[in-house]
Amino acid sequence: MAEAHATEPPSPGEPGEAHHTSVWPFVIAMAAGAGFGGLALRLYPMIAAGAALLIVGVGGWLWQDARGISFAVKGAYEERPFVGISRRKVGMWIFIVTEIFFFSGLIAAGLALRVRVPVCTVPPDPRFACWPDPTATPLNIPLTAVNTFILITSSLTMVESLHHAQKGNAAKMKAFLLATLLLGITFVSIQAFEYFKLFYGEGLTPWPNADPAKLYLGTFGTAFYAQTGFHGAHVTGGILALAFLNAKAWRGKYGKDDHEAIELVGLYWHFVDIVWIFLFPLMYLIGR
C-alpha cells in the first residue's frame, strides 16, 4: 500500500492533506507480474489480464490525483546520512538501487547463457544452440545506434527541463518536458518496429523456433528479448510518468518552488538511459 502522513494540519477545504492510502500501486505491481509471467509462459489470457490491470491501476491512480489527493510523505529527513534530503528523493534512490540489482541479475543471467554455449560456426549448425557473432545476427545495428542517440538526447532535454523549472522559466520547462516525452516515444516506437521485424520477419524468438534453419538462435533470442524487453518496459513506464508531468505542467503546475516531481522522474529516466548504454554494446556489438 502507498501511504502518506501529513506533516501539518490541512487548511479548511484543502483536499489531499489528510492521512491517505492507495491500492493502485499494488494493482500496478500485480499487473506487471501477470503480464510478464504471461509472456514467459506464453499464456495470452494472462497477458491480457496484466494489460487490463495496468489500465485499471494507472487510471485509478490518475483519478485520485485529479481529485487532489496526495500520497507523498512530505518533509525532509533529519537523521544522518539523509539530513535535509526529501523523503521522496530518498525513496527514489532506494527504488533505483533495487532496479540496479534487478538489471545486474538480468545481465548476469544473459552472460551465463552466453558463456555456456559454443560460438556459432560458419555456417551455423541449425540443430544446436550457439552464440552468433553480432555481424551474423539479424539485428539492425545502425538503426539501434540512432535509437541509442535518441535516448541519450532525451536525458539532456530532461536535465534542461529541470534547469528551467528551477529558474522559473515555465515556457522552456514545458518545451523540454515535451521534447523528452517525444524522444522517449520515438525510442520505444523504433524498438517495437525492430521487434516486429525480428520476430515475424527474421524468425528470432525466445522460444523453440518454428524455422528449423534458425534453431541455433534460440539461446541468443532468449537473452536478447529478456534484457531489451525489460528495459523497454521500464522506458514505457518512464513515458507514462513524463506524460503525467507534461499534463500537469501545461495546467500551470511546477516552477521555481515546486519542481521535485520533475527531479524524481528525471532520476529514473537517467537510470534507464544508463542501463541502455550497457545493454546496447552487450547485445548488439560484442560477440561471444
Q: How far apart are the first and last CA of the chain?
A: 44
Q: Is 12 helix (H, G, I), strand (E, B) or coil?
A: coil
Cα–Cα dist 138/209, whole Å: 15
pTM for the full predicted model? 0.81
Provide CATH code, domain 75-285: 1.20.120.80
Amino acid at residue number 109 = A
**CA-closest candidate to residue 197, choices 242, 250, 154, 144:** 144
- Average pLDDT rounded to a whole number, residues 175-197: 96
Name the fold adopted by 1-74. Answer: Helix Hairpins (1.10.287)
Residue 10: pLDDT band with limits 50, 70, 90: very low
Instruction: Judge whether residue 146 has pLDDT over 90.
Output: yes
Instruction: List phi, psi (to 5°) of 12.
Output: -55, 130
**Residue 88 confidence class, pLDDT cut points 50, 70, 90:** confident
Cell of 257: 518552488
Q: What is the pLDDT of residue 202?
A: 81
Please list the residue range(s) of the chain that carry CATH number 1.20.120.80: 75-285
262 contact partners, CB below 8 Å, separation of at least 6: 161, 162, 165, 173, 177, 245, 254
pLDDT in tens, 234-247: 999 999 999 999 99
- Each as own residue / partner, the long-range contacts of residues 28-32 (CB below 8 Å, 24 or more positions apart, any chain) are 28/53, 28/54, 28/57, 28/58, 28/61, 30/57, 31/56, 31/57, 32/233
| Comma-separated ranges of CATH 1.10.287 domains in the chain | 1-74
d(CA 76, CA 38): 40
Q: What is the pLDDT of residues 20-59, one digit of tens each?
A: 567 888 898 898 889 888 877 878 899 999 999 989 988 8
Strands 20-22, 2-4: pairing kind: antiparallel
